[in-house]
């Protein structure tokens, strides 16, 4: 078992500024240089996280953005979102098991238009909803109502909507037990902090600018 000193040193190397205590205790983190600080205590312990990286084991992708999604205008809805840079057509997997509640794959790649993104959204047993956005035209591999396993292929990544380049936008939002009748890209709640158990140490969530290889779940 590593000492708290070793853990703290490892965290600092990953770019997470720990104010005091071992990993996953109190402290502040800055996963994105242009985003606000967040609290380490709010993140699930990474080794026991319910989530895995949303791409296949053995593959590696870079994180473009994390907390810099936050703006005062959106009330912090995007605070814990993650953008993964990846080529169009990259297989996307379910980060957590659940039921597919929304699918759209009609928009063409490279359209460059805000709110014209393809997506798959999956509701989990605790009523949180994972959103997989900017997917490829005709890139959905699931249908609404389908129950998917963690790690199951659900879509192909793309470049639809206002993107700045091919990538996957991933976030988890907390919603009520019943989704709104016209569920779409409009957030149903605040994003929640997420760690990934197959990404290596990520006590403050993923860090912008780093590449993460998905280990076997």
Read off the tokens for 208: 């912008």
Does residue 30 fall inside a structural domain?
Answer: no
Report if residue 16 sits inside a domain. Answer: no
50 with 164: CB under 8 angstroms? no
**Cα–Cα distance between 87 and 116 in angstroms, integer?**
19
Neighbours of 150 (CB within 10 A): 15
**Position 109 in a domain:** yes
Task: Write out the two tokens for 212.
Answer: 């993460």
**List of residues 6+ apart from 208 with CB closer than 8 A:** 31, 32, 33, 35, 63, 64, 65, 66, 68
Q: Which residues of 52-73 are buried (b: 16+ CB within 10 A; e: fewer)?
A: bbbbeeeeebebbbbbbbbeee
209: in domain: no
Would you say residue 9 lies in a domain?
Answer: no
Tokens, residue 120: 């798959």
Q: What pTM was estimated for this model as a whole?
A: 0.85
Q: Which two tokens stand for residue 126?
A: 């605790």
Q: Print pLDDT tens along the chain (217 aa).
A: 333 333 232 222 233 333 333 445 568 999 998 899 999 999 999 999 999 999 999 999 999 999 999 876 665 678 999 999 999 999 999 999 999 999 999 999 999 999 899 999 999 999 899 999 999 999 999 999 999 999 999 999 999 999 999 999 999 998 755 555 444 444 567 899 999 999 999 999 999 999 999 999 8
The tokens describing 215, both together, are 């280990």
Question: CA-CA distances (angstroms) from residue 63 to 36, 60, 138, 153?
Answer: 17, 10, 24, 20
Q: Is residue 215 part of a domain?
A: no
Q: Which of 79, 94, 107, 204 is nearest to 163 (CA)?
A: 107
How many domains are contained in the chain?
1
Determine, yes or no, domain membership for 147.
Answer: yes
The answer to whether position 204 is within a domain reads: no
The parent domain of residue 147 ranges over 52-199
Report the alpha-carbon angle 198-200-201, nearest 5: 130
Give the residue among 180, 69, 179 at the shortest CA–CA distance from 133. Answer: 69
> Which ranges of the chain would DSSP assign to H, the alpha helix?
4-13
Q: Which two tokens stand for residue 107?
A: 């928009």
Domain CATH code at residue 90: 2.70.70.10
């Amino acid at each position: 078992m590593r000492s708290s000193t070793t853990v703290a040193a490892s965290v600092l190397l990953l770019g997470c500024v720990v104010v005091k205590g071992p990993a996953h205790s109190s402290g502040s983190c800055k996963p994105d240089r242009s985003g606000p600080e967040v609290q380490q205590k709010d993140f699930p312990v990474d080794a026991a996280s319910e989530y895995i990286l949303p791409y296949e084991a053995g593959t590696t992708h870079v994180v473009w953005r994390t907390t810099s999604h936050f703006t005062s205008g959106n009330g912090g809805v995007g605070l814990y979102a993650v953008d993964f840079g990846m080529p169009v057509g990259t297989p996307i997997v379910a980060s957590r098991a659940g039921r597919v509640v929304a699918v759209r794959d009609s928009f063409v790649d490279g359209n460059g238009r805000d709110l014209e993104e393809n997506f798959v959204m999956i509701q989990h047993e605790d009523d949180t909803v994972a959103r997989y956005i900017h997917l490829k035209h005709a890139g959905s591999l699931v249908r609404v109502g389908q129950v998917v396993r963690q790690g199951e292929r659900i879509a192909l990544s793309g470049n639809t909507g206002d993107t700045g380049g091919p990538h996957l936008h991933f976030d988890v939002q907390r919603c009520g037990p019943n989704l709104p009748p016209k569920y779409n890209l409009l957030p149903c709640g605040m994003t929640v902090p997420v760690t990934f158990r197959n990404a290596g140490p990520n006590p403050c969530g993923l860090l912008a600018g780093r590449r993460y290889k998905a280990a076997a779940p």
